[in-house]
Each structure stands twice: as structure tokens, then as C-alpha cells.
Amino acid sequence: MAISQPATRPANPRFSSGPCAKPPTFDVTKLADAALGRSHRAAIGKDKLKAAIEGTREVLGIPADYKIGIVPASDTGAVEMALWSLLGARKVEMLAWESFGSGWVTDVVKQLKIDAEVKTADYGQIVDLASVDCNNDVVFTWNGTTAGVRVPNADWIADDREGLTICDATSAAFAMDLPWDKLDVTTFSWQKVLGGEAAHGMLILSPRAVERLESYTPAWPLPKIFRLTKGGKLIDGIFTGATINTPSMLAVEDYLFALDWARSVGGLKGLIARADANAQAVFDFCDANDWIANLAEDDATRSNTSVCLKFTDDRIKDGAAFAKAVAKRLENENIALDIGAYRDAPAGLRIWCGGTVETSDIEAMLPWLAWAFEAEIEAQA
């Protein structure tokens, strides 16, 4: 029999996996100091871009000798720049276990036509990391946003590797500990864990990645938007705030606000703790209910940001229609917005647990999920 609606509602129903919820203290008046209508090359614009770079370094604990650049086209732009600028110098291994990782495989194999070794795993699983040879260039996603599966650690990345590790960390940065000594190229977008705006990507380069850029020229042409070097030298300005092309100073201001908020909750440690608490509330809910389970098969690979869930009740007739209907009920009640599984992923739900989401909202939402499940089981019957 259907259960009645819970008494408590989440204060904020935004559980989207990107763009993610804004920080709880956000409102648009916080962006009043944006350098709008000014040149981004003027001192005021340059200072703000530099503050975004150095704030990123400070909050994420990125080593002083790593370069951090603000680049066009969100995380996709940052990843594509890295792939097109760096690959081709040595053998490449591509690792993929969900949609975005698979997208990078397509680009490298079909567009760049590199004869890469491709290692894939199904949704819910992860590739055999012990089999990866880091003397090759290795491209992987730290947290597979559409599967809710993340690498459990970086033990499989050799310290004395000859290849470069290129890591799409867009749904991991600011929620998981990233071991910078193991990562040569790391990318993320402001729109993810900090709840910023899309538009710009962050490209983080180790000294070895810079060395590659300065010693290797790819066989293919590079559009201006991808070019990181000039005359065989790194364009240093990109990494001090002189962006390749015009950035949105409104998005920059928003990111500066998000960084300030991050500091106010204890920086990276505080952000990780918030994501862990959110995800744990969902994990506990799955443990307590036999009709729902984490898509990640191994607990060590469970994401603490993009938590993906599958329905496991054998009364469900059409899995995809059922999951959609449950998500729709929650949206109609303004309890949870945008929690349907990613379009290429198995049927189910995806609940964003990054630090901008309040644990009290996750806890208020979950009983409603039970309500929507029961209501849909009854409707289906």
C-alpha cells in the first residue's frame, strides 16, 4: 500500500550533477563586485583571474611548481586541449567505465587516429587498474560522473612513470583527495563541485607535462583555442590570468565567491567531509531498503559526489519507465530536481552529493524517494 507523504521537505531540491547546486550562502547580489564592462586585460580583470588561479592552488593544495590555467569551454575544453596538445608522443592507454571516459576514447581513437590501447568496463564496474602501464600516456576520469564509480586510489600510478597521466577530475576536484604527484594533467569545471558557472575549464599541468609541451609538437594542426605554446615555449600568460580569449568576468566573480565559501567550510577537508556525509546518508538508505542499490559494485569505488542508484525490486516491469516516473514524481513535488540517470547510463537515479548540497536536504529527500517508489509500484500495478 502506498505510504503517506513525509512531513519534512528539503529546503533546497537541487541535486543536479551539473550545473550543481550553488553554495548555500549564494545569492546574485554576492556578485556585485564583478568587473563587468571592463577589459579582462585591465588590472582589475587580471587581478581577479589571478585570484581565481591562486585561490584554486590554495584550496586544492596544488604544488607551487604546477601551472594552473583558465581555459575556454568548461571541462570539455580543458580535456580536449590536453589530448590534442600532448598525445602522440608515446603509446597511449585509454581507460573508460562510463559515458565521459568513452567520449575521450572516441576523440583519441577516431579523431586523433591514435592506435591507443583501450580498457573499458561496464557501468558499475571499473577497469583493472593494476594492468595499467604508466610508461604509456594514460587518460582516465577520476570520478565517472554517469556511473558513480571512481578510482579508489592512485596506488596504480607509478612514481617513476615515463608517461603522462591525464585525468578528467571534474566531478572529483573539491570533493576527493587528488594526489598531485601522480597527476600530470588534471582538469575540472567551475560548474561542478563548487556550484560555479560553466563556460571555463581549469587545466593543471605538472612540470613533466610542461616539459612535454615544450619538447613535442603534434602532427595535427591546433586551433588557436587549444594552443598552449608559442615558438616551443609554454605561453606563460595563460597560467597567470592572461586567458587565450575573453572570459566571462561574471563567471569569474562567481568562482571567486565559491572559493571564499569553500574556505568558510574548512577548505578541501571541509568539502570532502560534506560530500562524504551526503553520500553516506544515501549509502545508509540503500542498506536499509532492499529495493534500491548503488550502481557501483565495489564499495571502494563508490562516488561521494555523483551517487548513482538502481532499482532492484522484481515487481518493476519496465526499469527505464519506472525510474523516470519516480524522478518525475519527486520533481513534481519540488523535492528533487534533475535526479534521473544520465541519458547513456543504466536506468536509475543519480543524486549529487558534492559539498554545496546540505546533508539535511539529502536526509529530508530520502524518505520522499521511498514514498515515490511505493507510489509508483502501486501506480504500475
Ligand X SMILES: Cc1ncc(COP(=O)(O)O)c(C=O)c1O
Site of interaction with ligand X (CB under 6 A)? 18, 74-76, 100, 141, 145, 168, 170-171, 189, 191, 198
Q: Please report how close the Cβ of residue 381 comes to ligand X at its closest, in angstroms.
A: 36
Residue 198 C-beta: closest distance to ligand X, Å = 5
Question: Which C-beta is closer to ligand X: that of 76 or that of 136?
Answer: 76
**Nearest residue (CB) to ligand X, 80 versus 376:** 80
CA distance 262 to 175: 11
Kindly provide the b/e burial profile for residues 41-55, where b requires at least 16 CB atoms within 10 angstroms of the residue's own CB: eeeebbebbebbbeb
Nearest to ligand X of 10, 72 (CB atom): 72
**Grid coordinates given for 7:** 512531513
In whole angstroms, the minimum distance from the beta carbon of 340 to ligand X comes to 14
Half-sphere exposure of residue 109, counting CA atoms within 13 Å on the CB side? Answer: 15
Q: Please report how close the Cβ of residue 17 comes to ligand X at its closest, in angstroms.
A: 6
**How many Å apart are CA 340 and CA 103, to the nearest integer?**
20
Give the number of other Cβ atoms within 10 Å of residue 36's Cβ.
Answer: 11
* CB nearer to ligand X: pick between 357 and 364: 357
Shortest distance in whole angstroms from residue 187 CB to ligand X:
8
d(CA 228, CA 126): 32
In the complex with ligand X, the residue whose CB is nearer, 116 or 372, is 116
3-state helix, strand, coil in the chain (%, to 5): 40, 15, 45
Q: Shortest approach of ligand X to residue 168 CB, angstroms?
A: 5
**Is the separation of the CB atoms in 138 and 82 below 8 Å?**
no
Among 104, 350, 377, 85, residue whose Cα is nearest residue 230: 85
Q: Which residue, 210 or 308, is less far from ligand X as judged by CB?
A: 308
